[in-house]
Amino acid sequence: GIKHAGLPWELGVAETHQVLTMNNLRSRVVLQADGQIRTGRDVMIAALLGADEFGMSTAPLIVLGCTMMRKCHLNTCPVGVATQDPILRAKFEGKPEHVVNYMFMVAEEVRYFLSKLGLRKLEDAVGRTDLLYASSNPVNKKATMLEFGSILKNAQQMFPNVSIRGGSVKQVIELGALETQLLTELEEVFSEAGHHKVFDNKFITNLDRTFGTRISYEISKRYGELGLEESRSITINLKGHAGQSFCAFLAKGVSVTLEGDANDYVGKCLSGGSIVVFP
């Protein structure tokens, strides 16, 4: 299941890029490729097929010390990556600098390939399928039976008057009304004479996506990783149905209680805050 589930992202990226270009929607969408992307070569292939962004997870996790024990769900991770056991967590030796260094090496390899292809920047490589070709002598001889014509069609050449710069047409995303209201009232917490603030009986709907993220941004911008002191802490009591990414990145000093339910990604990348959800 780990190695052979689903279809290759190469098929999805190429087809999505072509269809969006055909419908003159490519400039409104940022395409991200994700799945077994670990090297600069992988990044370049994804870009040439049409990807604007690239997701990596396994390789950075290994850089941080993961030994792929396949028991993340058992709370017994021997290197302290996926566990809440304080004894095992003490074994974690990963540092942000390790991931930064890995990303620098990936970027350096991308620069090498860009120079070989005569391109100035990665953006220039997006959708350039004319720079890709199928090997005539693959290691696995069965690969000679594969037909890459559809994948390697150049969308820009097929639709020359259509922009393929993903995300060049900016979408206006308005902050949820509830969080906008709370941010206005939180100015007194952020002032020099700031004090503990409680918000009671606020109603939330699934239109309020990523609730709490902007509040955490304002806190981290002012107080950094330390978050809010207890004397300035914030308590928010909500009722209703929260949208996606409820309280993502919630900063230290913020406690949110929701009577109701929430969509996926509750509390992702929790950064010291407290979340309680009950029906």
Domains, the chain, in order of start with CATH, read: 9-158 (no CATH), 177-278 (2.160.20.60)
Mutual orientation of helices 96-117 and 40-49 as an angle, nearest 10°?
60
In the chain the beta strands, taken as DSSP E runs, fall at: 32-34, 53-55, 197-204, 234-242, 254-262, 274-278
Whole-number pLDDT of residue 2:
63
Cβ atoms of 199 and 166 within 8 Å: the answer is no
CB neighbour class for 120 (10 Å; exposed up to 12, middle 13-18, buried from 19): exposed
Cβ atoms of 240 and 262 within 8 Å: the answer is no
Chain mean position to CA 84: 23
Reading the block at residue 89, the tokens are 């967590």
pTM for the whole thing? 0.71
Q: Report helix, strand or coil for 15.
A: helix
Whole-number pLDDT of residue 154:
92
Q: What is the DSSP letter of 126?
A: T
Q: What is the DSSP letter of 196?
A: -
Helices (H) then strands (E): counts for the chain = 9, 6
Reading the block at residue 259, the tokens are 């009577």
Number of CB atoms found within 10 A of residue 257's CB: 15
Angle at Cα 187 formed by Cα 181 and Cα 189, nearest 5°?
Answer: 115
Digit-by-digit pLDDT tens for the chain (279 residues) are 466 777 889 999 999 999 999 999 999 999 999 988 999 999 999 999 999 999 999 999 999 999 999 999 999 999 999 999 999 999 999 999 999 999 999 999 999 999 999 999 999 999 999 999 888 888 888 888 888 889 999 999 999 999 988 888 777 777 778 898 898 888 888 887 778 889 998 999 998 889 999 999 999 999 888 888 888 899 999 999 999 999 999 999 999 999 999 999 999 999 999 999 999
Q: What is the DSSP letter of 112?
A: H
Whole-number pLDDT of residue 184:
87
Whole-number pLDDT of residue 93:
92
Q: What length is written for the chain?
A: 279
**C-alpha neighbours within 13 Å on the C-beta side of residue 26:** 26
For residue 100, give Cα distances in angstroms to 49, 55, 95. Answer: 26, 15, 9
